[in-house]
């Protein structure tokens, strides 16, 4: 694992930056795959729909998504006074560190009504690490969100708890692997969910979500904000801060309203 405490958008190779700007100029949510090939970026092959088929797939936005363009993933009571925004990439090991160590604490805050969470997910590590695990897992998370916000959150937690041992491994690029992980979420493996994951129904939506991350002012993952206040979630040692420290920071944001 890298010694860096976060993954940065600026770490992407120059051909990825060019592909990103070219992608925005194209019409349709699934242009990233075609641009990646045009830029000479390797895409690992997973099970399920081929990249060519994805490129022809129309945009379908999951039920339970929100925001003007459907790229916002919210979890918790909309009446909660404080919003915690979490920016992460499914393949980012420091995001996994955050989720495994502090995710349960954040969930307790949501369940108690203290805060609500907005997830802003990225897929830039596919380009810098090779493969398609970030985008494929993001599309699968869209299928879970289509079932319910609760199913999304449970599947999200399972994926971060089961990240590959090496960030260069592309286990999440396989829809067969993702469906096995989905078995850990009771009731998630509905026929509609299975079909959406296998066919990568929400791949175009995943492109839009990833583009929305690039349009933010966030420069690395994980980034966590409470009502706009950036929190320290990963220390200089690359480890998550203590749940007590994390709670203190969120409480300060709540008190400062």
Q: Does 26 score more than 70 pLDDT? A: no
Q: Does 19 score more than 70 pLDDT? A: no
pLDDT value at position 118?
A: 97
* pLDDT (tens digit per residue) in 28-82: 222 222 223 223 222 222 333 345 566 568 899 999 999 888 999 999 999 999 9
pLDDT value at position 43?
A: 28
> How far apart, in Å, do the first and last CA atoms of the chain sit?
38
Torsion of CA 210, 214, 218, 224, to 10 degrees: -10
CB 155 within 8 A of CB 138: no
Tokens of 190: 């509905």
CB 6 within 8 A of CB 234: yes
The residue to which tokens 């992460």 are assigned: 88
* pLDDT (tens digit per residue) in 163-210: 999 889 999 999 999 999 999 999 999 999 999 999 999 999 999 999
pLDDT value at position 257?
A: 64
The residue to which tokens 């299928």 are assigned: 143
Residues whose CB is less than 8 angstroms from the CB of residue 236 and which lie 6 or more positions away in sequence, other chains included:
5
Q: Distance between CA atoms of 56 and 30, rounded to whole angstroms?
A: 8
Torsion of CA 27, 31, 36, 42, to 10 degrees: -170
Q: Does 20 score more than 90 pLDDT? A: no
Rounded to the nearest 5 percent, the helix, strand and coil shares of the chain are 50, 10, 40
Percent of the chain with pLDDT over 70: 78
Q: Does 238 score more than 90 pLDDT? A: yes
What DSSP string describes 159-225?
HHHT--SSTT--GGG-HHHHHHHHTTSTT---HHHHHHHHHTTTHHHHHHHHHHHHTSS--EESEEE
């Amino acid at each position: 694992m890298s010694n860096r405490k976060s993954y940065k958008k600026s770490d992407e190779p120059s051909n990825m930056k060019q592909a990103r700007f070219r992608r925005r100029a194209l019409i349709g949510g699934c242009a990233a795959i075609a641009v990646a090939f045009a830029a000479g970026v390797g895409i690992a092959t997973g099970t399920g729909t081929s990249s060519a088929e994805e490129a022809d797939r129309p945009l379908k936005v999951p039920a339970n998504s929100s925001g003007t363009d459907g790229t916002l993933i919210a979890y918790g009571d909309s009446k909660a006074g404080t919003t915690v925004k979490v920016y992460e990439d499914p393949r980012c090991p420091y995001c996994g560190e955050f989720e495994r160590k502090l995710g349960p604490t954040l969930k307790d805050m949501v369940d108690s009504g203290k805060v609500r969470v907005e997830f802003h997910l990225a897929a830039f590590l596919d380009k810098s690490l090779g493969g398609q695990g970030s985008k494929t897992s993001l599309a699968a998370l869209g299928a879970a969100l289509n079932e319910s916000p609760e199913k999304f959150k449970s599947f999200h937690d399972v994926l971060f708890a089961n990240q590959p041992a090496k960030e260069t491994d592309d286990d999440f690029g396989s829809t067969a692997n993702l469906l096995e992980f989905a078995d850990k979420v009771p009731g998630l493996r509905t026929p509609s969910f299975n079909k959406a994951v296998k066919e990568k129904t929400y791949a175009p939506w995943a492109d839009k979500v990833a583009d929305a991350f690039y349009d933010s002012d966030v420069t690395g993952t994980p980034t966590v904000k409470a009502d706009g206040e950036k929190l320290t979630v990963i220390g200089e040692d690359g480890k998550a801060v203590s749940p007590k420290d994390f709670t203190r920071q969120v409480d300060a944001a709540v008190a400062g309203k």
